[in-house]
Amino acid sequence: MSPFEPLTRGEQTLQRSVGYYGPCAAEGIAVRRVGQEHWAPGYHIARLFTNRIFLAFIDAGRARCVQEGHVWTVTPQHVLCLGIHRAVEVVCDGDSPLCLHLVVADLASEEALPGFLRDAPPVLRIRNPVDLSKVFTHMFEVATGGLAFGEAIVNRYLHVLLALLQAGRVATEGGSSPLRVLRRCKDYITQRAAAALSLKEAARNIGVSHAYMCRLFRQLEHCTPRQYHTGIRMRIAADRLIQTNRTLDDIASELGISSAFALSKMFKRQFGMSPRAFRRSERAEEGVQHLRH
């Protein structure tokens, strides 16, 4: 295997930071840099830290984070949490800059790494993002304010920051491998079968890009998300036609479809016959089965 090569490609539209160079504190961890950065669309980094952690609160924008074959989508109020001995790539794949507050800290040894970060995914969701954002902001204000004992204050804030991350982090379902992302997409679509589907809203709620969600469905389901959603709705309609005497208007209303006519068109496209023909054929088959028994 070839050695890891760090990579930085693309532009930063904003970079404001303050560096510190003092020794690590008794706890074995110390802030080295506090900053605000904007990474332009297409910005791409690859990193492998050995004695350093990188924490960044996302204010705006979108990116994709890849580690050990798993993919996470980075969106506002997420925290990038890049630890040690695990190669990671971040690619800004949105239409606007990725805006972040960042803190870089050095470790005196591996033992100084907070336990909860040892196996943490590189992207964390936080229950208390407002409180976390305030800590990042205060650290930056102290760092850039030229205060006496500013470095000591920033290092105290670092421990507050780590405590908030540990207490507020939300499980990320083992990392978003393509199959896990697809399962979340399918669950989301199935739960909303009785309504019109906004693909962009679905992708946003799942935490992936619209293009990535569509690509997953094409590659793994051999259909589009829209086709998958329609298939779920038409299977529900077929069940209602067989199991009940409800009218097409009632079934269309249940599924959030505008009219019986629209339902009939969708149903025929899906199954090759009209709802009425389907109901007659299924019930005729049931009668034949009943006579045989």
Quote the radius of gyration of the chain (alpha carbons, Å): 26
pLDDT tens, 162-221?
A: 998 888 876 444 445 677 788 888 988 998 888 888 888 888 777 777 888 888 898 888
Would you tell me how many other CB atoms lie within 10 Å of the CB of residue 259?
A: 12
Beta strands in 108-158 (DSSP E): 123-126
Confidence of residue 285 (pLDDT cuts 50, 70, 90): low
Q: Where are the domains of the chain?
A: 7-170, 178-292
With a pLDDT cut of 90, the percent of the chain lying above it is 44
Q: Look at 263 and 84; give whichever has higher pLDDT.
A: 263
What are the tens digits of pLDDT across the range 241-253?
988 999 999 999 9
Please tell me the chain's helix, strand, coil percentages from 3-state DSSP, rounded to the nearest 5.
Answer: 45, 25, 30
Give me the residues paired with residue 199 across strands.
Answer: none
Mean pLDDT of the chain: 85
User: Is 2.60.120.10 the CATH number for 7-170?
Assistant: yes
Residue carrying structure tokens 């840099």: 33
The CATH class, in words, for 178-292 is: mainly alpha
- pTM for the model stands at 0.58
CA atoms within 13 A on the CB side of 55: 27
Handedness of CA 157, 159, 164, 170 (dihedral sign): positive
Which of the pair, 77 or 281, is modelled with greater confidence?
A: 77
Q: How confident is the model at residue 224 (pLDDT cuts 50, 70, 90)?
A: very high
Query: Which residues contact residue 141 at a Cβ distance below 8 angstroms, ignoring those fewer than 6 apart?
Result: none
What integer pLDDT is reported at residue 176 of this predicted model?
Answer: 55
Q: Determine the pLDDT at residue 112.
A: 86
Place of tokens 């040690």: 84
Q: How confident is the model at residue 79 (pLDDT cuts 50, 70, 90)?
A: very high
